[in-house]
A and B are shown apart, each in its own frame.
Chain A
Amino acid sequence: MKLDRLEKLQREIATIFVERFDTRIASHDVDLLETGLVDSVKIVELVLELEQRFGVSLPFEELEIEDFRTVPRLAERIARTTPAVG
């Protein structure tokens, strides 16, 4: 159950990157920070988008830089925030 949910989150995050930033993320291992796929401008848009799409609250001061390292890390961070529904 839990794995399914994480996978779903990962897929949706990848979709956000394509739709919002015209960026395809080649694999789950891609380091979003080292490659500049997430930078200081995109992180603001990304957090807003994640909040809207997943109906969660992600206050900046509660976020850690490592939360943004990879797509799976980001999915885990959101999973921790949202109550698992369905």
Chain B
Amino acid sequence: MKLLQHYVSAQASLRPQASAIAWKGEKLSYGALDQRTNRVARLLAGLGAERGDRIALLLPKSPLAITAMVGTLKADCAYTPVDLKNPAPRVEQILAALESRVLLACREAAPLVEQLVRENGLGPLRVAWLDGEAPAGLPSHAALADLETCSADSVPSANGDADVAHILFTSGSTGVPKGVMITHANVIAFVEWAKQHFDIQPTDRCSGHSPLHFDLSTFDTYGSFAAGAELHPVPVELNLLPHKLAQFMRDAALTQWFSVPSALNHMAKADVIKEHDFPSLRRLLWCGEAWHAAGLAHWMRRLPHVRFTNLYGPTEATIASSWYDVPGIPEDETKPVPIGRACAGEDLLVLDEALRPAAPGETGDLYIRGVGLSPGYWRDAAKTDAAFVANPFSADGEDRIYRTGDLARVCENGEIVLVGRADTQIKSRGYRIELGEIEAVLHTIGTLEESAVVAVESAAIDGLAIACGYAPRAGVVLEPADLRTLLAARLPAYMLPSRWRRFDRLPLNANGKVDRKALKEIFAASPEK
């Protein structure tokens, strides 16, 4: 395969009636998906989108959003799925960075679009409403009726596999989200490896648990399409109630599940997985953060018929770069589950500060090399150069390695185990968060004298809890709930601190800077609510 959209068109010519996507009782066939995506590509061209343009998608997880993704690729453009739960200022940052000409939206995005228009206008951005007529009073350059008049014939493409397929935004430590460019070749390399490794078949029914603005969803979508399997996007709200999530898995008779561990722990804690539950399930994959062996063991005991695989890799290296098939129920539940070995075409390197291989068993910085490496951050050469460096073991100047920021060690058998982070990036319930991004927003709040954010262990959540210490200016009354409201206007909900403490002055170290270690200890010593 050369381009990602070819997965859809290939299935459409082989098995046009086969179901590509199952959603809320309805099915969308590969034939229909192929035709609809052709229409989207023509609509985009009609709106002035040109090869290489970035198209922002303000669409909630749905077959429509996936149609817009593939249609964008067919127009030789790159897409960015935008989380509709983001506050408008953050969406504005993303739209400004992308310099898009066209926005694809639906009615659910109307409140967000309205806010964007009210605050700064949309400038030259053209808006297409894909699910009906434009909501009253909002800009509209096309609507569903226009889409339906576009031809469904196949669309020729000029793109090659080194062209960017999508740009996914992750938390940025300076307060601005950074866009990771992912090429067609990046995704195809992982999908082809995974299709073979997991033996994905047309009879498979694959979960689509991750939100579409997360890198993991790329595998759900294109992994499923590559095999001609049926994708079952999981409605987001099911995550709230573990028994509903388990019921979804049962009703859909999923054969493949892929998610962050927190969704799995949520179900384990609520004890909603029965012995030999999900009889159709063949494999369960997780990625995004470490899964405690205790949670894994619970699932493995309940589902002896399922193959469990840990996948590891940051967005910058596309979906995952290493795999570990769990050989049996972990005996020692205090030991970390290895991230295993590199996927085909990739290398995992544990290096010391001078970029020399760390001795076996010694902790070093984890670098990734190979087919998954993104070309870099969208229009940010400085950040790209800092994270993607020349491979010191190669004479080829184009050969790069990506510094993940994770600390790791190599075991005697060659498997790799994660040890921690070299910076203040954290994982909280599978979300990747730069504490610096939260601090950058705090620093814009005029009523604060000082503020700092630290991550602390938590009994209630998987990963770490975000804790904020702050000192208001003299004479200012600022309750945690007030500060939270201010932050919520700028940051997505998952980045908001869950623990707060007001100080007269924050603890300082010998250099007169905020003593984060002391702050962390204060939070650790005081009980969670």
Provide the A6-50 mask, 1 if CB < 8 A to any CB of B, else 0. 000000000000111111101000000111111111011100000
Asked whether B524 is an interface residue with its Cβ less than 8 Å from the other chain, the reply is no
Chain B residue numbers with a CB within 8 Å of A4 are none
- Nearest B-chain residue to A65, judged by Cβ: B237
| Min distance, Cβ A41 to any Cβ of chain B, angstroms | 5
Asked whether B274 is an interface residue with its Cβ less than 8 Å from the other chain, the reply is no
Among B159-167, B180-188, B240-248, B319-327, the one that faces the other chain is B240-248
11 additional contacts (CB under 8 A) given A35-B493, A41-B429, A60-B243: A22-B481, A22-B484, A23-B485, A33-B237, A35-B85, A39-B239, A39-B240, A40-B263, A43-B241, A45-B460, A65-B237
- Nearest B-chain residue to A26, judged by Cβ: B485
| Min distance, Cβ A43 to any Cβ of chain B, angstroms | 5
**Total contacts A-B at CB 8 Å:** 63
Cβ–Cβ contact B492 & A36, under 8 A = yes
Asked whether B500 is an interface residue with its Cβ less than 8 Å from the other chain, the reply is yes
Chain A residue numbers with a CB within 8 Å of B269 are 44
Q: Provide 19 A-B residue pairs closer than 8 Å at the C-beta atoms, listed in order of the A residue.
A: A20-B529, A21-B498, A22-B480, A22-B484, A24-B481, A34-B85, A36-B496, A37-B493, A39-B239, A39-B493, A43-B240, A43-B241, A60-B241, A60-B242, A60-B270, A64-B241, A65-B238, A65-B241, A65-B244
Asked whether B266 is an interface residue with its Cβ less than 8 Å from the other chain, the reply is yes
State the CA gap A19–B85 with chains docked (Å).
Answer: 24
Asked whether B482 is an interface residue with its Cβ less than 8 Å from the other chain, the reply is yes
Chain A residue numbers with a CB within 8 Å of B244 are 65
Asked whether B262 is an interface residue with its Cβ less than 8 Å from the other chain, the reply is yes
Chain B residue numbers with a CB within 8 Å of A45 are 460
State the CA gap A40–B265 with chains docked (Å).
Answer: 11
Cβ–Cβ contact A18 & B266, under 8 A = no
| Min distance, Cβ B421 to any Cβ of chain A, angstroms | 21
B interface residues, Cβ below 8 angstroms from A: 85, 237-244, 262-263, 266, 269-270, 272, 429, 460-461, 479-482, 484-485, 488, 492-494, 496, 498, 500, 529
> Interface of chain B, helix or strand or loop or mixed?
helix
State the CA gap A37–B242 with chains docked (Å).
Answer: 18
Q: Which of B269, B484, B500 gathers the greatest number of chain A CB atoms within 10 Å?
A: B484
Chain A residue numbers with a CB within 8 Å of B266 are 40
A interface residues, Cβ below 8 angstroms from B: 18-24, 26, 33-41, 43-45, 60-61, 63-65, 68
Cβ–Cβ contact A68 & B243, under 8 A = no
Cβ–Cβ contact A63 & B241, under 8 A = yes
- Nearest A-chain residue to B263, judged by Cβ: A40
Chain A residue numbers with a CB within 8 Å of B492 are 36
- Nearest A-chain residue to B247, judged by Cβ: A61
Chain B residue numbers with a CB within 8 Å of A63 are 241
Say yes or no: A24-B270 contact (C-beta < 8 A), given A40-B239, A40-B262, A45-B460.
no
State the CA gap A24–B482 with chains docked (Å).
Answer: 7
State the CA gap A26–B488 with chains docked (Å).
Answer: 12
Cβ–Cβ contact B494 & A36, under 8 A = yes
Partner of B460, one of A34, A37, A41, A64: A41
| Min distance, Cβ A22 to any Cβ of chain B, angstroms | 4
State the CA gap A40–B461 with chains docked (Å).
Answer: 9
Question: 5 shortest A-B CB distances, which residue pairs?
Answer: A36-B493, A22-B480, A24-B481, A22-B481, A41-B461
Chain B residue numbers with a CB within 8 Å of A68 are 240
State the CA gap A38–B236 with chains docked (Å).
Answer: 13
- Nearest B-chain residue to A67, judged by Cβ: B241
Cβ–Cβ contact A40 & B493, under 8 A = no
